[in-house]
Structure 1
């Protein structure tokens, strides 16, 4: 009798865990699909508007400037809202395994409680990325204004872009990169003991976001300078981030991505120095 009760209890627990897993990944898939659809629609509308041709044979994205009749605060809010949605689409594929490991680490807390703590962790994580957007917009807007006022600076942009890509690629080979990548790929609580409460979930999400933003610093720089509203660049950067997080040998993947970036940066520099 005891054995049968134990088996039934084990079966019920297994079914509950399977349902929890299906719900978690189902919600994640819906969130990714929604954010990706909004991002594609927005970037497509920006592409249809075109950019501003600049000295040096390149085109400035309109993402850094107000639309017709729009104020600068309105432009900043528009950029920030779009940035937040883009970060969900770009970072969610690599965040999902981290959140799943977090759920497993605090799994003895009931489904409702588990969902709340996971949600808080995710919100804290994306707060870090949203803050990066708050910093990026004024810097990008100031740089865009300077480029429009100073033709010499505008002509140097293709060369500077190549140098940024080259440096970002070299960053992939550093111990600093390897450290933060290991923190993103590691099990939760390997440095900090996790407690199943809201404040600890918030702190854990912030830690994940900070490690992730440091780990992705080079790839984010490439995204910002090459095409912040370019779907092709966005897809490549998303694939690179996801690959180095989920591949069996993350450091090797990071170095391979770095090698590609170094070559791409060198080619951009050559093209800027020796225009066709």
Structure 2
């Protein structure tokens, strides 16, 4: 009968590590990959935003305007417009979400190795891929809403004049959401790592669940981004900092509440300005 020593038993339960690669080395490689992805996506986002700024905006009745990202370019098709927007959206979301997502992906990698997944790096990559696929799908919904608003505002000037009021109400609603218990529950789900099983299907399912929870948790801040300008670098920076702070900070719930209070104030200011311009 084959006998195993106590050390052999312990080694048999430990996650497989490729020959010549220590746990510390694997951690450094993981961080390096995440940093490179962030630098690449942030750089691409800056270039895209500058290119979109040169293309101008569509003026609307009521003194506001919308980016040309919501409509096809001259001679272009809707399919091309959707593809361009989703490419911009996915790149932007990677730059905005990676700082707060990286610690979660790291824990996913560790849990996959402990659970006995033969390729924990692939498990983590698939989970991250499906996470961003959820954000990309959400981007399609955002594009449809933005394109519909643009077409309706151009067709009905009275509707366009009501948008500043609707914007103020939307910001107030987003602020109330930031301060709600639902937001806090979703924020907790974004921090959790509950891997179920091993393999590609488990990784995809984990990424989808995490993506859905985070999209819902960021609903209020996403409204702020859309109102501030979906391709505005300052709005992106503010929203990205708020998301990172509330997810990684030790007082994340208080940070979410504080941002909600600020959004309430901004919504009131927006409504006041809309009434003043009547």
Q: TM-score, normalised by structure 2?
A: 0.89
User: Are residues 1:246 and 2:248 paired?
Assistant: yes
Aligned residue for 1:53, secondary structure, equals: strand
Is contact 1:20–1:111 with CA below 8 Å preserved after alignment?
no
Q: What is the aligned length?
A: 262
1:160 Cα deviation after fit: 1.3
Identify the residue that residue 10 of structure 1 maps to in structure 2.
Answer: none
Aligned residue for 1:59, secondary structure, equals: strand
CA distance in 2: counterparts of 1:212 and 1:219, whole angstroms: 11
User: Are residues 1:94 and 2:100 paired?
Assistant: yes
User: Are residues 1:164 and 2:170 paired?
Assistant: yes
CA distance in 1: counterparts of 2:100 and 2:75, whole angstroms: 38
Map residues 116-135 of structure 1 onto 2, 5 A cutoff.
116-135=122-141
Aligned residue for 2:113, secondary structure, equals: coil
User: Are residues 1:185 and 2:187 paired?
Assistant: no
User: Are residues 1:140 and 2:142 paired?
Assistant: no
CA distance in 1: counterparts of 2:121 and 2:128, whole angstroms: 11
CA distance in 1: counterparts of 2:98 and 2:212, whole angstroms: 15
**Residues 177-200 of structure 1: CA distance to partner in whole angstroms, max 9, x if unpaired?**
1111011123x12xxx53222111
1:45 Cα deviation after fit: 0.9
CA distance in 2: counterparts of 1:25 and 1:159, whole angstroms: 44
Map residues 12-51 of structure 1 onto 2, 5 A cutoff.
16-51=22-57
1:76–1:67 Cα change, 3 Å: same
**Residues 86-122 of structure 1: CA distance to partner in whole angstroms, max 9, x if unpaired?**
1111111111111111122223478981210010000
CA distance in 1: counterparts of 2:102 and 2:261, whole angstroms: 27
Q: CA RMSD in A?
A: 2.1
User: Are residues 1:271 and 2:277 paired?
Assistant: no
CA distance in 1: counterparts of 2:100 and 2:165, whole angstroms: 31
CA distance in 2: counterparts of 1:24 and 1:225, whole angstroms: 35
CA distance in 2: counterparts of 1:132 and 1:194, whole angstroms: 24
Is contact 2:116–2:198 with CA below 8 Å preserved after alignment?
no
Aligned residue for 1:106, secondary structure, equals: helix
Map residues 145-224 of structure 1 onto 2, 5 A cutoff.
145-186=151-192, 188-189=193-194, 194-224=196-226
CA distance in 2: counterparts of 1:165 and 1:86, whole angstroms: 21
Identify the residue that residue 9 of structure 2 maps to in structure 1.
Answer: none
Ranges in structure 1 where 5+ consecutive residues have no aligned partner: 3-12
Aligned residue for 1:273, secondary structure, equals: helix
CA distance in 2: counterparts of 1:110 and 1:20, whole angstroms: 16
Which 4+ residue blocks in structure 1 deviate beyond 3 angstroms? 108-112
Aligned residue for 1:107, secondary structure, equals: helix
